[in-house]
Structure 1
Amino acid sequence: SISRSEEKDSSSSRPSCLGYPLSIFFIVINEFCERFSYYGMRAVLVLYFKYFLQWDDNLSTAIYHTFVALCYLTPILGALIADSWLGKFKTIVSLSIVYTIGQAIMSVSSINDLTDHNRDGSPDNVSVHIALSMIGLILIALGTGGIKPCVSAFGGDQFEDHQEKQRTRFFSIFYLSINAGSLLSTIITPILRAQECGIHSKQRCYPLAFGVPAALMAVALVVFIVGSRMYKKVQPQGNIMIQVSKCIGFAIKNRFRHRSKEFPKREHWLDWASEKYDKRLIAQTKMVLKVLFLYIPLPMFWALFDQQGSRWTLQATTMDGNFVGYFLFFFPPYIHLQQTVNPILIIIMVPVVDALVYPLIKKCKINFTPLRKITVGMFLASLAFVAAALVQVQIDKTLPVFPAAGQSQIKIINLGTNDATVQFEPKLQSVDVKSMKSTGYMTFETSQLRSLNIASGNKTINAVVKLPGGSRHTLGVKNTATGIDVKWVSLLTFPRYILMFINNLPDAVNVTMGDTSFGILVPLSASNYNLFPGGRQDKIVAIRNSIPCSVTSKAFGFGSAYTIVINRCVGDTLNVTYSEDIPPNTVHMAWQIPQYFILTCAEVVFSVTGLEFSYSQAPSNMKAVLQAGWLLTVAVGNIIVLIVAGASKLSEQWAEYVLFAALLLAVCIIFAVMAYFYTYTDVNEIEAQLDEEEKKQAKKDQDAYEKQSEAVSQM
């Protein structure tokens, strides 16, 4: 073992900078890279589920929150490994390797050309991608959760007892590095995702969006290992969490074993452990359980807070994301609001609240205790979801109505030079379509629609209709010299930003738009569906008989879908017409700012205060116990999302937001009552009393030993 004087000498020989151990800079850089990796991957995760794996909103939300919950359950495992077996340094290195492998697997799983692909660019054998994704997410959850309780504590270990001021500043810098990594990653990874990549088919570049976070995690691991020789490494001393658990278990067991009246009552049920465990451990366990009891209502806050990355992200996909023209600065439309507003507001508001709001409240002679701050945070989070519900109500008014399972929707495009009349049989509806025009979508019960009678010029045609339910269909009609040609195009799913071309020329053409090829289209044929970012304009090029014709496309609104008909190629100018399949989103994403602002205010007064409260009320050797308990509330909160969303069966999203707001408000009232009866603990005073009692007991034991020795010597 190393004596205290030897440890002090070795610590003084470690390099320092500006009064700080040089080793902490490696730890801060490591944390920045790790948070960049985690939040960067998480920023596009729910979009990856929805658009790449083709999962619906409910499944995407469920898997997302299951992953987040797992990330906050594994810190308990990490703390056990670090304190009982490997120590913090080896635990961080080992689990960081697992973490990096998981990120790399996620990047590989999103490679579109890993398997065959469908016409719309989605993977054909999606089970391979799902299996790899799940393996990657499990390894990431194990890695990020396992190192979470170790890194900040390992940074605190680098300081000596006389460096309390530097240690406090380190934690502020550490928290800033977390938010800086989060902010940069949530800006950069959506940009990477917006790129197109793929060999056989073009798709959003998820391999790059996941690959860069994987690379940053590898950098984090290398940086941490480079500083190895500078670190102060505290050896594992046995896990206090295990001791606390055993103490509680013995107290409960002993209490039920001695239920008869002949045994005297104890002041506290934990006092039944005094037969086996010392008074200090029992007193410290009482303090910990007192705080853990207050934690019981807290998961409901996280159930709402973490929906920023799921439900609120999906809400943003139904909104207009073009910020150009709304602000004086350029805000790229593919950077989603929800991925940047929260970290920006956190960086701004934490110092503002600490330096301005709290002092102002204090001047007003309001006793704004930590538990009152937490209560206010819960109320604000509930208010944020009310704001989200109001926004959702406005969005729902603008969303298109898609067909139910037993319905089909049909749109007619007249590609000929004569007007056309289409009769849906048996005499369901008749519609006239002018030359080069189209109808809107008409909804029919699939079981009732049997055939179509089409008349154009002096020609007629009858076509039998057999359409699958729950789908949209476009019918191209063209009067030619030999008769009436028809072309069916079915849209079985409804992804966003779809573009499809129909060749209305007499010759085959090779069509490209921007960097995306739609292939060679023979006359009266349709291309594959392709995905394009909203707000974007590109050059459409059609090569006919080796002669290119081109035209700049219109700007496609967020959430919109169009069928583009290629009509004529005169000189080098291409003539096209647009048929709107899905109208663009009209509710602007800026309307989400109020809900994000309110939720960020809630986070500042809830999360930061909660950590401070937990630290101040925990015994000196049980900070990790309460840290693990605090992280556990986050995991339980994400599990609550899965339970409530699955059990509520609400068809309207705004109603689900109101449900969560009401649940948190009810929990907030319960917590306020619990906080009212809570008595704050002066940990230092209690531990000083315990030290004094131990000294007195030690003196008594010493005196008794001396008297016994003296008696023995006189015999």
Structure 2
Amino acid sequence: MAVEKIKKPKKRSATIFGYPLSIFFIVVNEFCERFSYYGMRAVLVLYFKYFLKWDEDFATTIYHTFVALCYLTPILGAIVADSWLGKFKTIVYLSIVYTVGQVVMAISAIQDITDANKDGTPDNMTLHVALSMLGLFLIALGTGGIKPCVAAFGGDQFEDHQEKQRSTFFSIFYLSINAGSLISTLITPILRAQTCGIHIQQECYPLAFGVPAALMVVALIVFIVGSPMYIRNPPQGNIIVKVCKCIGFAVKNRFRHRSSQYPKRDHWMDWAEEKYDKLLIAQVKMALKVLFLYIPLPMFWALFDQQGSRWTFQATTMNGNFGAITIQPDQMQTVNPILILILVPIMDTLIYPLIAKCFNFTPLRRITVGMFLAALAFVAAALLQIQIDKTLPDFPSSTESQVKFINMVNRDLQIQADNKTISLKGFGANEDYLTFHNQFTLVLESGQQNTINLANGTRNTIAIIQGSKLGFEKFDDMTSKPEKGENAIRVLNGFGSDLNVTVRDKLFNFTSNMSEYLSVSHGKAEFMIKDNRESCVYTQELGFGSSYTLIIPSTFTFGEMCSENIKAVMDMKPNSVHMAWQIIQYFLMTTGEVVFSVTGLEFSYSQAPSNMKSVLQAGWLLTVAVGNIIVLIVAEAATLNDQWAEYILFASLLVLVCIIFAIMAYFYTYTDPTKIEAQFDEMEPEEKEKRKNFDMPRKGSAESHKEDRRSSDSSSDDECTKQTKI
């Protein structure tokens, strides 16, 4: 006899405009939580590289490990919520864990107050790394754990007659996610770009992490404040666990009865019939059919999530001047949510209807197209990277060294370096670096030969100075582009007296005549030059990623025209490729996401049995996690020297996977889960009873075994069967 589940009447919630008042607390909570997550994630990879001083490859590895963990923990959250705590308590407890994680991340970014190295690296780096890893683990546990609960908890607030309001709620809920992502990705890079510190001024990562932490506190408080209004359904048992048990039993039973005396069955899941209800088995079959199609999908996410890692690093080598505003490299990620808000309605109302007039654009075809568009996005990224590489300086190899000459004498000079004759104007420099191996012979006007030894892989500046006779002094130069689009500036003081030089409240520290490099951001820079009595202001417009040596000549005098005496020698040209070119790859990737992700979720929902929507949701999130793991594997195994080649590799892999998926999709048969479930509703109750004593064939015959199955007792009606009976 069918077991009918008796539901307790829901507590009626206060309403406003026909909607439960409780959902407004849930929507605000989701906005704040998504602001917290995406705001922290926007600056995370730059924090790894520029605060913790990790190289790009290792920073990318940890970044994608974190993202993968964020999409593995939802399964844990779903099991805890449905099996023990319920959705409300799970959200509250894991939000507390989440909040602690964000606070720990903000604390981990606070510079050592007592001391710091000259390059800004904290002395106690081990502590900073340990706190960062702890914070990220807690955040992954929190954000992943509540991910499957919040939307479902919001749906629980509606009564059966409020289907229209429930549908609108999910649209508003999705909008709050994108709004939180968009606003936080705009704001936190600005906060990160601020300077803060006591003993040393650095980018303000504590503020960039602190604001998301504060928003997570707000999210938790708002959610708890709405507590009296919530409808809370008790935990009903997790369907994921039940499905896993059913599959496990079918596999175990199949291998226990491998002998020929047992009849073959149409599907391997039919071996679970002795213990589980046929309706549940049919539902598992439908779910597995969709999950099988998920196997190629992680490759899409392997490319998609590199927007926050590789593409952000790419933006640091580009020009972010958009006229009225300057875009930070990590702010380019905002293009994705902006385009989503634009493209989703356009695709639904215009593109899909137009395509439908030409041919049947099925969901699986859309997913295939989405994967192909993502591959094209990485081809675009590779082409852009090739153009960026052309503008980069030709740095010395491990067997070479480079030299630039600066004439600090107030007249033109002609010098010789090996067999190369170099003409230098007074207080001028040669345009390009010259390449040598190990050493070269320098001949000045006096005819004196000087053997200059150089370390391989280095760049050097040799300043020609006037003493009793011509001489020279050698200085070390940068061997990489300035980071984060900053400009590296140094000052060569030939004035013969001590000078105090500052720019934007930053002081140049001099070692002998040459100062150390100082990072100066884009825009108009005013250099204040002082001695004991007078001052002079020199102004220079700076781009992105350039390097200059400012020469203060021996003829320098303070006064009205003092700034005209200062000469700027360009050591590296500014970034010339504009960041706007990244919009092409972002457009292709976001279009691919809309076609792939939105369609994939709709397809999964339509093909999923009524009680297994959460199973397929967990499987979908799992593909995101696996995709980030693929990034780690491919990046480590490929070991490609050129970034554009790595982009092409990922694009090629996705095209290959796309072809495999297209073949799988061709053989897929669409089903209507409602009709299939209805067929089992019409079956006789006896046919839905469970069997027992299935593994004891009588008289050794298959026929007697079949008879035993027909007459087996079904008294052990477990929780799995109760949940699947109508």
Do the structures match in fold with TM over 0.5?
Answer: yes
Which range is displaced more, 510-519 or 31-40? 510-519
1:305-384 aligned within 5 A: 305-324=304-323, 330-334=324-328, 338-362=332-356, 364=357, 366-384=359-377
Unaligned residue ranges in structure 1 (runs of 5+): 325-329, 705-715
In the alignment, what sits opposite 2:32?
A: 33
Aligned counterpart, 1:327: none
- Please, which of 528, 540, 559 is the counterpart of residue 516 of structure 2? 528
Residues 369, 596 of structure 2: 8 Å contact kept? yes
Q: Distance in 2 between matches of 1:378 and 1:170?
A: 29
C-alpha distance in 2 between matches for 1:354 and 1:585? 39
Q: How does 1:300-699 map to 2 (within 5 A)?
A: 300-324=299-323, 330-334=324-328, 338-362=332-356, 364=357, 366-420=359-413, 423-424=416-417, 427=418, 429=420, 431-440=422-431, 442=433, 444=435, 448-449=438-439, 453=442, 455=444, 462=450, 465=453, 467=455, 469-481=456-468, 484=471, 486-491=473-478, 494-496=481-483, 497-519=487-509, 521=510, 524-534=512-522, 536-552=523-539, 554-567=540-553, 568-571=556-559, 573-574=562-563, 575-693=565-683, 695=685
What SS does the aligned partner of 1:121 have? Answer: coil
CA deviation profile, 1:63-106 (whole Å, cap 9, x unmatched): 22122111111111211221222221121122222222222222
Aligned to 1:351, the other structure's residue is in SS state: helix
Give the aligned residue type for 1:557: G
Q: For residues 399 and 486 of structure 1, what CA distance do their matches in structure 2 show?
A: 27
Structure 2 counterpart of 1:355, one-letter code: T
CA contact (8 A) 1:301 1:664 kept: yes
Please give the alpha-carbon distance, in whole angstroms, between the structure 2 residues aligned to 1:112 and 1:309. Answer: 24
CA–CA distance in 2 between the matches of 1:286 and 1:343? 36
TM-score of the superposed pair, with normalisation by structure 1: 0.90
Q: 1:380 to 1:464 in 2, by over 3 A?
A: closer
Aligned ranges for residues 198-209 of structure 1 at < 5 Å?
198-209=197-208
Which deviates more from structure 2 when the two are superposed, residues 621-630 or residues 337-346? 337-346
Cα distance change of structure 1 residues 109 and 475 upon mapping to structure 2, 3 Å threshold:
farther
Question: Is the 8 Å Cα contact of residues 413 and 439 (structure 1) preserved in structure 2?
Answer: yes
Q: 1:603 offset after TM fit, Å? A: 0.8
In 2, are the aligned partners of 1:191 and 1:335 still within 8 Å (CA)?
no
For 2:448 and 2:9, the matched residues in 1 are separated by: 97
CA contact (8 A) 1:32 1:180 kept: yes
Distance 1:157 1:700, change over 3 A: closer
Residues 152-191 of structure 1, C-alpha deviations (whole Å, 9 max, x = no match) = 1111111122211111111111111111111111111111
Asked if 2 retains the 8 angstrom alpha-carbon contact of 1:119 and 1:529, the reply is: no
SS in 1 for 2:570: strand
Tell me, yes or no, if the aligned pair for 1:120 and 1:529 is still in contact at 8 Å: no
Matches of 2:113 and 2:627 in 1, distance apart?
Answer: 36
User: Contact between 2:254 and 2:268, CA under 8 Å: does it hold in 1?
Assistant: yes
Listed one character per residue, the Cα deviations across residues 421-444 of structure 1 (whole Å, up to 9, x for unaligned) are 5555xx475534332112345354
What is the CA deviation profile of residues 318-365 of structure 1, one whole-angstrom value per residue up to 9, with x for unaligned ones? 2221111xxxxx332336563221111101111111122222233x15
| CA-to-aligned-CA distance 1:260-288 (integer Å, 9 cap, x gap) | 11111111101111112222221211111
In the other structure, the counterpart of 1:710 is none
CA displacement at 1:111 relative to structure 2: 2.7
TM-score, normalised to structure 2, is: 0.88
Task: Decide whether aligned partners of structure 1 residues 231 and 461 sit closer, same or farther in structure 2, where only a CA change above 3 A counts.
Answer: farther
Distance 2:682 2:690 in 1: 12
- How does 1:210-249 map onto structure 2 within 5 Å? 210-249=209-248
SS at match of 2:82: helix
Q: 1:6 to 1:234 in 2, by over 3 A?
A: closer
Change (3 A) 1:505 1:396: same
CA distance in 1, matches of 2:367, 2:202: 44
Q: Residues of 2 paired with 1:210 and 1:175: CA distance?
A: 24
> How far apart, CA to CA, are the structure 2 residues paired with 1:545 and 1:694?
102
How far the C-alpha of 1:577 sits from its partner, in A, is 1.6
| Secondary structure of the structure 1 residue equivalent to 2:571 | strand
Aligned equivalents of 2:114, 2:122: Cα separation in 1: 6
1:464-483: CA deviation from partner (whole Å, max 9, x where unpaired): 5353x333222333213576
Check the 8 A contact 2:464/2:470 in 1, yes or no: no
Structure 1 residue 119: Cα displacement: 3.1
CA distance in 1, matches of 2:122, 2:449: 38
SS at match of 1:331: coil
Partner amino acid, structure 1, of 2:566: V
CA offsets per residue over residues 32-70 of structure 1, 9 Å max, x none? 111111111111222222233333322222222122111
Question: Does residue 7 of the first structure (1) align with residue 6 of the second (2)?
Answer: no
Q: Percent same amino acid at aligned positions?
A: 62
Whole-angstrom CA distance in 1 between matches of 2:545 and 2:590: 27
* 1:460 CA drift (Å): 5.5
Letter in 2 for 1:400: P
Letter in 1 for 2:645: A
In 2, Cα distance between equivalents of 1:433 and 1:154: 74
Return 5+ residue gaps in structure 2 as ranges.
Answer: 692-710, 712-726
Structure 1 94/410 Cα, relative in aligned 2: closer, same or farther at 3 Å?
A: farther
CA distance in 2, matches of 1:48, 1:532: 19
Residue 505 (structure 1) shift: 2.0
- Tell me the CA shift for residue 302 of structure 1: 0.8
Q: Which region of structure 1 is more displaced relative to structure 2, 38-47 or 486-495? A: 486-495
Measure the CA separation in 1 of the matches of 2:151 and 2:478.
51
